[in-house]
A and B are shown apart, each in its own frame.
Chain A
């Protein structure tokens, strides 16, 4: 309607912030966190990982883990394995997912000879993409 040459605004300003949908938003976020939270992760071996600065983030969904403790014991899928068993297990995993990255979680005090044996097995399994899991050192100022 036009009055005095001006249009009257038909939109009424709300004098309060609508909070009716707050509970819905909260539940929505809650469901997101419930579904995406990792409640049980692989336990693996207790290893003191080495630290490195120039690390890369690895896509979790494409990673198979090997754990090697400071005494050289190896573990895959929460089970202790002999080094000779590593190649067949990984070869089976690679058949399912050829883009698999094998993350080697080795204790920083482990002798290189155990790492070398693990790498030999990875080569036998035709594993190409390997990641040496490390604890990132935050880049300082």
Chain B
């Protein structure tokens, strides 16, 4: 005598685990997603068409030079990169107290200097709050 099967056929797709699966995928995507935020030091380049040439007085300029060997000079004396912010802030504060305009920072970089040095200098200039910056190449 054969036993009768008691197993009943399920008529519908079980959906009880659907939220679990959705949450599992959700956690995966939350942890794996890269929203791609980019950081950078912005600079506005002069345009030949839009920017006319202007002449400035030497007293309005703060000159920074980056040499090929990595030494940095600010206003004709050797400085540490980390000092630039303080120096520039102090100079700008003095000018503002005399109701003079903000200094124009000219960064002169030797072609053989590392790019990292230029970024460090620009970082210091931004920290000092200066927005009038020009990049130049030091003569070899």
Contacts and interface: CB of A to CB of B under 8 A. Distances in A.
Interface of A: 22-23, 26-27, 29-30, 33-34, 36-38, 41, 50-58, 60, 63, 101, 103, 106-116, 119, 122-123, 126-136
A131 B42 CA distance: 4
20 contacts: A27-B22, A30-B29, A33-B29, A38-B36, A50-B116, A54-B41, A54-B126, A60-B36, A60-B38, A107-B115, A108-B119, A111-B112, A112-B112, A112-B115, A114-B115, A115-B118, A116-B111, A126-B49, A132-B43, A133-B38
Nearest to A63: B38
Interface of B: 18-19, 22-23, 25-26, 29-30, 32-50, 66, 109-120, 122-123, 126-127, 135, 137
B33 A55 contact: no
Contacts of B33: 33, 36-38
A132 B119 contact: yes
A113 B112 contact: yes
A122 B45 contact: yes
Contacts of A115: 115, 118
Contacts, number: 149
Contact of B35 (A36, A122, A127): A36
B14 to A, nearest CB: 13
B19 A22 contact: yes
Given A29-B26, A57-B37, A113-B111, A131 B43 contact: yes
Contacts of B127: 53-54
B38 A57 contact: yes
B19 A106 contact: no
Contacts of A136: 39
A73 B20 CA distance: 49
Given A37-B33, A111-B111, A58 B39 contact: yes
B118 to A, nearest CB: 6
Contacts of A27: 22
Given A111-B113, A112-B115, A123-B45, A33 B26 contact: yes
A126 B19 CA distance: 53
A111 B43 CA distance: 19
A131 B41 contact: yes
